[in-house]
A and B are shown apart, each in its own frame.
Chain A
Amino acid sequence: GENVEQHPSTLSVQEGDSAVIKCTYSDSASNYFPWYKQELGKRPQLIIDIRSNVGEKKDQRIAVTLNKTAKHFSLHITETQPEDSAVYFCAASSYGGSQGNLIFGKGTKLSVKP
């Protein structure tokens, strides 16, 4: 089955700096890669996702890149702000069919210092 590794487990940056979180996956059939943000005491919420037919997707200060050959994808946050502090989870799955459940990484705790 799918296995997702996420690094680093904790990340501390100064406000205004960039943050990068990296994930690798094992199943070459995976074709859907979402990122979730979970603030303290709140539910995980989708912030961006990418499907295997594209290599990069951007949404304002957030971007995700995908390298299907190397089986890794990354989250990039630019101009970080204190409200970006949260735990970020990557996930992978193949959409369609009963094998398409999301497999999550172990999370990265991001701290943005003002």
Chain B
Amino acid sequence: ETGVTQTPRHLVMGMTNKKSLKCEQHLGHNAMYWYKQSAKKPLELMFVYSLEERVENNSVPSRFSPECPNSSHLFLHLHTLQPEDSALYLCASSQGPGYEQYFGPGTRLTVT
């Protein structure tokens, strides 16, 4: 499946590191999303971009910084994370808000 890809698939980082997650969609969609998936909150919406503009930020801490340079690419920049930020980070894309979302395989993040 190559519709939505994410890199890296696994990431281990210390609390003082800076890293970035990348998402790319090849479906011609206009909206892209970042979700955090953990045992406590299975699918927690973090950020929404529609036509490259951020339309929603669900009170996410500033140590997570999204970037959407064009409609096909989405980044999540990480810095000074906490151990509780360890989770699976899923990217998704859709035609727009309220339409089927296609998920990427996720990045399994571990903060040590």
A44-B43, A104-B43 given as contacts; is B55 within 8 A of A98 (CB)? yes
In the complex, A89 has a CB within 8 A of chain B: yes
**A 87-114 binary contact with B (CB < 8 Å = 1; else 0):** 1010001111111111110110000000
Interface SS of chain A: helix, strand, loop or mixed?
Answer: loop
Q: How many residues in A have their beta carbons less than 8 Å from beta carbons of B?
A: 25
List chain A residues, Cβ under 8 A from B90: 43-44
How many A-B residue contacts, CB cutoff 8 Å? Answer: 60
- Taking each of A42, A49, A93, A102, which has the highest tally of chain B beta carbons within 10 Å of its own beta carbon? A102
Write the nearest CB–CB distance from A53 to chain B, whole angstroms.
14
Residue in A45, A99, A103, A107 whose CB lies within 8 Å of B103 = A45
Whether A95 contacts B43 by the Cβ 8 Å rule is no
**How big is chain B's contact interface, by range?**
20 to 34
List chain A residues, Cβ under 8 A from B104: 43
9-residue interface stretch from B13-21, B64-72, B74-82, B93-101: B93-101
A104-B43, A107-B42 given as contacts; is B97 within 8 A of A46 (CB)? no
Write the nearest CB–CB distance from B102 to chain A, whole angstroms.
8
Whether A42 contacts B105 by the Cβ 8 Å rule is yes
Whether A104 contacts B42 by the Cβ 8 Å rule is yes
CA distance A12 to B89 in the complex (A): 28
Whether A87 contacts B42 by the Cβ 8 Å rule is yes
A42-B105, A43-B105 given as contacts; is B43 within 8 A of A100 (CB)? no
Q: Which of B41-71 contact A (CB under 8 A)?
A: 41-43, 45, 48, 50, 55-56
List chain A residues, Cβ under 8 A from B99: 32, 95, 100
Chain A interface residues (CB < 8 Å from chain B): 31-32, 34, 42-46, 49, 87, 89, 93-104, 106-107
